[in-house]
């Protein structure tokens, strides 16, 4: 389903040195995983025997009992197409290896030996086992069949999934095998582990799994031995973790007495395309590997994953505070560098009382205060026109007064009327010409005033407007430094809210945040906003959602639509989402010419549309292929 796979980490109740009894618990968990539409489930290290069997691994009876239990497990799971990764001890060339057996539908698809054997403190694996890190291009015989055996094995389904297997200490090594597997296309890793509990160790373990998933741009599923292992010298808590690209998706409660599993839906399609879009992944050195084709896997009927409707906005309040502070500093230092380099001491901002100009003014003011510059050198220019309301104008003026910046007012109505006359436009014709004349008049005033004052014109347009091309070419599209160009609309208001810590301006900011977004270019009769942007181009929260998934990893339109129906369930129906997604795509393609010559501005998040930094696209690309998918 759109590149999503359900994976699981299982922790079985262990009875040390009793493979038959352990096999029963493993079978139950495989059946449960299959009933939950899990594609692959991983178990703890040396699952059938128990990790703590110690020197009993050197006893023929235990190994025979393990092999019997494994053969029985294969027989009883013939009708199950969920892949299970089970820990076993394998005798090969008169050596004993700590291994992972990858099984599906009653067959062993491959066996991966452990590379790094701990031999210190409470762990002495080299007493029983031999490292398999040099085993490649080899097979081993199991139950009368030749089975691929080695650390060079990857398993794939012919679609989005390619997974590799590590065993416990492999992950803790200086160079984990998963690094090399990732460079060969593995986007999913499973780790069978036996990690004992020490104070604080579980936190480090979770961090290790999470950060390795980020480093490899992959998903990582980890299962560790639990209750039932020997407590002679150590205690095992049965830690299970599922992470994806630096985020933990699921984590169990340790020290449970029962057998259990956790599941999560990982987006492997996204991970594959992130590698193309965001990193130097392609420069990683490849090694020779063998691939094993999986059989048909269970399919997810319903996605069990929360889709964030506002991907640019952090969900936790504390994170919002941190994010806002970072954004403000990026904006401020970008502006400071530009002004100092140009030896300019004044900044000019067209202030409307809307969200974007408010943030530009606040961040510019922050930069001036940081540097100890005179805030009177911030020249805020309000330029009322045919559609300006007293509410927005009043808020703009109050904010300028509270921040102690220089406020200038230039009414553009007469200037616009003269322009209409010059080009032969009827003032009663409220078409795009009527609006754009006003937008260009304002920009012309700011540019000319900047020459007179020796100042820098600060652009106020945000990332969402740049994506949609919601600006007048060579009007508000142009500035000398586009301060908001890296911030989407859904994040703008959170950054503005940060400034409410200043109690003097908090009431003003509240009213600005509650004012409908509008260019205020069309006349009004009762001093009320008659032109609401989101009624024309669609809700910005939808467009920001579309933008994130379209740019971040090149998601297909049908996937974006599907995810949006989940993220905005109960807010927008599928027809509404489709309508505005088509609008987004059409505007994004047709308005590239504006982005091709947009002014400099600081990149803030991972997504930027600057033609110099992140996004290069022909201005005459055809959107038909993308629209056809939605209409098909």
Q: What is the 3-state secondary structure (H, E, C) of 261-321?
A: EEEEEEEHHHHHHHHHHHCCHHHCCCCCCEEEECCCCCCCCCCCCCCCCCCCCCCCHHHHH
Express each pLDDT in 344-397 by its tens digit: 999 999 999 999 999 999 999 999 999 999 999 999 999 999 999 999 999 999
Nearest to 165 by CA among 77, 294, 259: 294
Residue-level pLDDT at 50? 97
H or E stretch at 406: strand 406-409
Confidence of residue 493 (pLDDT cuts 50, 70, 90): confident
Residue/partner pairs of 493-500 with CB below 8 Å, 24 or more apart: 493/355, 494/313, 494/320, 494/323, 494/324, 495/324, 495/327, 495/328, 495/359, 496/355, 496/358, 496/359, 496/362, 497/324, 498/320, 498/321, 498/324, 498/325, 498/328, 499/362
- Cα separation of 178 and 85, whole Å? 16
Determine the 3-state secondary structure of 482 from DSSP.
strand
pLDDT at 316 over 70: no
DSSP 89-127: EEEETTEEEEEEEEEETTEEEEEEE-S---EETTEEGGG
Q: What is the 3-state secondary structure (H, E, C) of 155-182?
A: EECCCCCEEEEEECHHHHCCCCHHHHHH
Residue predicted with more confidence, 85 or 500:
85
Residue given tokens 């104008």 in the structure block: 393
Nearest to 560 by CA among 583, 576, 577: 577
Residue-level pLDDT at 227? 85
- Cα separation of 249 and 6, whole Å? 12
pLDDT at 318 over 90: no
Residue given tokens 């009327």 in the structure block: 417
Catalytic residue (one of 25, 32, 45, 169): 45
- The encoded tokens of residue 3 equal 């590149």
Total residues belonging to the chain = 632
- The encoded tokens of residue 159 equal 């679609």
Mean pLDDT computed over 149-166: 98
H or E stretch at 145: strand 145-149
Express each pLDDT in 523-549 by its tens digit: 887 788 878 899 999 999 999 999 999
- Enter the pTM of the model: 0.94
Express each pLDDT in 387-436 by its tens digit: 999 999 999 999 999 999 999 999 999 999 999 999 999 999 999 999 99
Express each pLDDT in 515-525 by its tens digit: 999 888 898 87
Determine the 3-state secondary structure of 597 from DSSP.
coil
Mean pLDDT for all residues in the chain: 96
Express each pLDDT in 201-242 by its tens digit: 999 999 999 999 999 999 999 999 998 999 998 999 999 999
Q: Are 154 and 181 in contact (CB under 8 A)?
A: yes
pLDDT at 566 over 90: yes
Catalytic residue (one of 168, 216, 324, 400): 168
Residue-level pLDDT at 489? 96
Residues forming a β-bridge with 40: 7, 83
Q: How far is CA 265 from CA 221, 300, 569, in A?
A: 11, 9, 19
- Cα separation of 352 and 623, whole Å? 34
Mean pLDDT computed over 585-593: 98
In the residue annotation, 45 being an active-site residue is answered as: yes
Confidence of residue 152 (pLDDT cuts 50, 70, 90): very high
- The encoded tokens of residue 377 equal 């050198």
Residue-level pLDDT at 315? 74
In the residue annotation, 114 being an active-site residue is answered as: yes
Express each pLDDT in 97-144 by its tens digit: 999 999 999 999 999 999 999 998 889 999 999 999 999 999 999 999
Helix, strand and coil content of the chain, in percent to the nearest 5, comes to: 40, 20, 40
Q: How far is CA 577 from CA 313, 316, 338, 558, in A?
A: 20, 26, 40, 11
**Domains in the chain, start-ordered, CATH in brackets?**
4-293 (3.60.110.10), 317-631 (3.40.50.620)
Catalytic residue (one of 99, 114, 169, 435): 114
């Amino acid at each position: 389903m759109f590149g999503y796979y359900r994976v699981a980490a299982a922790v079985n109740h262990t009875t040390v040195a009793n493979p038959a009894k352990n096999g029963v618990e493993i079978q139950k968990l495989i059946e449960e995983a299959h009933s939950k539409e899990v594609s692959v489930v991983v178990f703890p290290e040396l699952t059938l025997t128990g990790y703590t069997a110690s020197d009993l691994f050197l006893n023929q009876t235990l190994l025979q009992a393990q092999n019997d239990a494994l053969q029985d497990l294969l027989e009883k799971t013939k009708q199950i197409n969920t892949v299970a990764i089970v820990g076993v001890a394998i005798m090969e060339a008169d050596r004993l290896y700590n291994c992972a057996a990858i099984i599906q539908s009653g067959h062993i698809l491959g066996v991966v030996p452990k590379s790094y054997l701990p031999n210190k403190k409470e762990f002495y694996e080299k007493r029983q086992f031999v490292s398999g890190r040099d085993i490649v291009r080899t097979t081993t015989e199991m139950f009368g069949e030749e089975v691929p055996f080695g650390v060079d094995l990857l398993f794939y389904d012919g679609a989005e999934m390619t997974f590799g297997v590590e065993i416990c200490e492999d992950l803790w090594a200086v160079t984990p095998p998963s690094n090399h597997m990732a460079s060969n296309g593995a986007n999913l890793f499973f780790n069978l582990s036996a990690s004992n509990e020490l104070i604080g160790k579980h936190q480090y373990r979770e961090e290790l799994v999470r950060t390795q998933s980020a480093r490899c741009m992959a998903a990582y599923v980890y299962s560790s031995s639990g209750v039932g292992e020997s407590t002679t010298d150590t205690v095992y808590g049965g830690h299970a973790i599922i992470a994806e690209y630096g985020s933990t998706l699921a984590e169990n409660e340790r020290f449970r007495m029962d057998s259990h599993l956790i599941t999560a839906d990982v987006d492997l399609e996204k991970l594959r395309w992130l590698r193309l879009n965001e990193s130097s992944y392609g420069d990683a050195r490849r090694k020779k590997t063998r691939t094993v084709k999986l059989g048909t896997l269970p399919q997810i009927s319903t996605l069990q994953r929360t889709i964030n409707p506002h991907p640019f906005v952090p969900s936790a309040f504390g994170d919002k505070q941190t994010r806002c502070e970072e954004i403000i500093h990026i904006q401020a230092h970008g502006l400071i560098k530009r002004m100092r380099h140009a030896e300019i001491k004044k900044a000019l901002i067209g202030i409307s009382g809307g969200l974007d100009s408010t943030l530009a003014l606040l961040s510019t003011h922050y930069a001036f205060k940081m540097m100890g510059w005179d805030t009177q050198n911030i020249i805020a220019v309000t330029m009322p026109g045919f559609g300006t309301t007293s509410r927005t104008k009043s808020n703009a003026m109050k904010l300028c007064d509270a921040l102690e910046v220089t406020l200038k007012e230039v009414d553009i109505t007469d200037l616009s009327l003269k322009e209409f006359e010059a080009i032969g436009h009827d003032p009663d014709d409220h078409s795009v010409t009527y609006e754009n004349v006003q937008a260009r008049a304002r920009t012309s005033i700011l540019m000319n005033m900047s020459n007179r004052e020796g100042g820098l014109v600060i652009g106020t347009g945000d990332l969402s407007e740049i994506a949609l091309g919601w600006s007048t070419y060579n009007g508000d599209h142009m500035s000398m430094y586009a301060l908001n160009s890296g911030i989407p609309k859904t994040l703008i208001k959170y950054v503005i809210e940060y400034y409410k810590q200043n109690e003097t301006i908090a009431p003003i900011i509240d009213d600005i945040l509650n004012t409908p977004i509008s260019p205020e270019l069309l006349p009004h009769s009762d001093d009320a906003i008659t032109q609401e942007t989101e009624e024309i181009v669609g809700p910005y929260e939808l467009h920001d959602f579309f933008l994130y998934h379209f740019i971040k990893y090149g998601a297909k339109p049908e996937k974006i639509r599907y995810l949006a129906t989940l993220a905005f369930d109960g807010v927008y129906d599928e027809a509404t989402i489709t309508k505005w997604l088509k609008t987004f795509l059409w505007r994004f393609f047709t308005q590239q010419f504006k982005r091709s010559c947009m002014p400099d501005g600081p990149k803030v998040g991972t997504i930027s549309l600057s033609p110099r930094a992140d996004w290069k696209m022909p201005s005459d690309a055809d959107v038909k292929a993308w629209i056809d998918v939605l209409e098909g």
